[in-house]
Amino acid sequence: MLEEKIKQANEASNKQWKYRLLMLTAGLLVGVTITVLVVWYGSVLSLSGLQPVAQKENLTVVRGDPLGKNPPEINPSKLRQSFIDRLQNYENNLETTLSKANLDAWNPAAKARIKSLKAAAIAAFTKADYSTAIDQMGQLEATGREIISLWNTSFSDVMAAGQKALDKDDAVRGKLYSAKALMIKPNNQQAQALAHKFDVLPALLALIKKADIARIENRAKKERHWLDQALKLAPEREALKQRRDVLAKSIKEKRVSALLAHALLAVKKNDFNAASRYYNKAKAIDPNRMGLRAVGEKIAKASDALRLKQVKAEARQSISMDHWREAKKIYKKATQHYPQDREIRDGLALANKLLALQTRIAKHLQQSTRLASENVFAQAQVALIQAGALSSNSPALAKKALKLKELLRKVKIKIPVLVTSDNQTYILVKGVGKVGFTAAHTIQLKPGDYTFEGSRTGYKSTWVQVHIPIGGKSVDVEVICDERI
């Protein structure tokens, strides 16, 4: 459309220029003629001694404009281009903004005004009246800016009024203001948010009323419930948030206090599983609660004390059943948790000593033949002395000690050994003494293992190993050297 109007304007401009050129040529001719006449008239007056009516210095001559009416003109092409540039700038900026202003809804008169101004500017341009077109363009731009300013100001005023109505919970007025704000700026997020707030306001006020009733009835949890529901509709309400937070803190404090009280009661009943459950729940709700640590330490201390008591009871039970190996396991494990408890330490030491003694006595009983050795016999006697001090703690140890004692008694009893030979062989018992030459001779030896050695001149020596059992009646041994060298 603009291109068509510019084309029409070009055609009109050409016609206008031809007309102006013709007028300009005529004006120049008239001006030259007048100038010649004035010069001639002045010369005549000068020759005749007369002065002209108008002084020469007061005469103003405008060449090219014999009538003196039109000022020097600006290049029309520049005026034309200036208008085109301003129109395009207007359409790309102000007009684009005005198209968003929804003028049809809230200010149709303003829309008609800018439409009229634009039409007038284009009409003047079409007639090649560029000065008028530019003047009209200036009015259009100024009017457009005024309308945009009024658009923004009106919106701000309506929004402010709507917010005041919201602050007073005035749903009736607020809906009117929010509707007007949307009429001015339908796509504005703030206006949409304000409209939403008034949409939910009746439900919000109902929830607040329920919360107030619960508060009067001193039902904190119920009041908090209604406040939570209200804040879902209006999360920006700081007063509701503050009240809800106060309630939440109070409810949490009461809940934690109740849990800690239950925990301490469970401790008195030695129900430490329940005590720990209550304590952990309280800790999960408020880990920084004053006094929480003290309750935890009390539970731990009482629990340890009960566990220690149980451990000692288990160990005593094992001891009463003469299960010292089991008792040792219990005591050893307990020392990891209760290293300073004297009963645990002493119990472990006693178990170690008693079990070690049982092992030594059992070894003497199993290797009874070694008791013939004075050194081994002495060790067995020491074990018996130690067992005498500990056997009251272990029937099994006392029984083994009794067996060893009896064994040692029998070890001392010498057994008759009948040694027979050929009266030619010299006989001795290694480590004991000599028998000499004999055909038959009885000697007394303690139970044990012995080596009888026989020797004869011209004959090979011989050795006879003899085992004398504990508690035996008699032993016969023959030693004869009968193999020549």
Distance CA 364, CA 377 (A): 9
Q: Which two tokens stand for residue 99?
A: 């198209």
Instruction: Name the domain count of the chain.
Output: 3
Q: Same structural domain for residues 79 and 131?
A: yes
CA distance 127 to 133: 9
Cα gap 437→428, rounded to integer Å: 9
Domain boundary among 362, 394, 411: 411
In a domain, 61, yes or no: yes
**pLDDT tops 90 at residue 449:** no
Torsion sign (Cα): 139, 143, 144, 149? positive
Confidence band, pLDDT 50/70/90 cuts, at residue 18: very low
pTM equals 0.46
How much is the average pLDDT of 102-109?
91
**Where is average pLDDT lowest: 9-13, 132-136, 405-409?**
9-13
Residue 239 lies in a domain: no
Q: Is residue 274 part of a domain?
A: no
Assess whether 406 and 441 both reside in one domain: no
Range of the domain at 140: 2-146
- Same domain for 50 and 7, yes or no, is yes
Per-residue pLDDT tens over the stretch 396-446:
999 999 999 998 888 888 999 999 999 999 999 998 999 999 999 999 998
Together in a domain, 27 and 124: yes
**Rounded-to-integer distance, Cα 384 and Cα 377, Å:** 11
> What is the rounded average pLDDT of the residues 465-470?
90
H or E segment at 457? none
Let me know whether 335 and 432 are in one domain. no
Residue 206 maps to a domain: no
- Which has the higher per-residue pLDDT, 61 or 211? 211
90 confidence band (pLDDT: 50, 70, 90): very high
Residue 74 within any structural domain of the chain: yes
Stretch (H or E) spanning 403:
helix 395-412
* Judgement on whether residues 41 and 100 belong to the same structural domain of the protein: yes
Same domain for 421 and 480, yes or no, is yes
Among candidate residues 92, 127, 146, the one where a domain is terminated: 146
**Domain-located, residue 59:** yes
Q: How far apart are CA 321 and CA 197, in angstroms?
A: 81
Tell me the residue length of the chain. Answer: 485
Instruction: Render pLDDT for 202-257 as a digit per residue (tens, 0 to 9).
Output: 999 999 999 999 999 989 999 999 999 999 999 989 999 999 999 988 898 899 99
Query: For residue 73, what pLDDT is reported?
Result: 57
Same domain, 380 and 434: no
Are 374 and 480 found together in one domain?
no
Percentage of the chain beyond pLDDT 70 is 85
Within-domain flag for 255:
no
Per-chain mean pLDDT for the chain: 84
Neighbour order of strands in the sheet with 415-420: 440-445, 415-420, 475-478
Q: Which CATH number is 470's domain given?
A: 2.60.40.1120
Residue 278 belongs to a domain: no
| 353 shares its domain with 405 | yes
Q: Which of 91, 122, 146 is the last residue of a domain?
A: 146
Together in a domain, 41 and 81: yes
Over residues 108-120, mean pLDDT = 94
Do 125 and 16 sit in the same domain of this protein? yes
Element (H, E) at 286: none
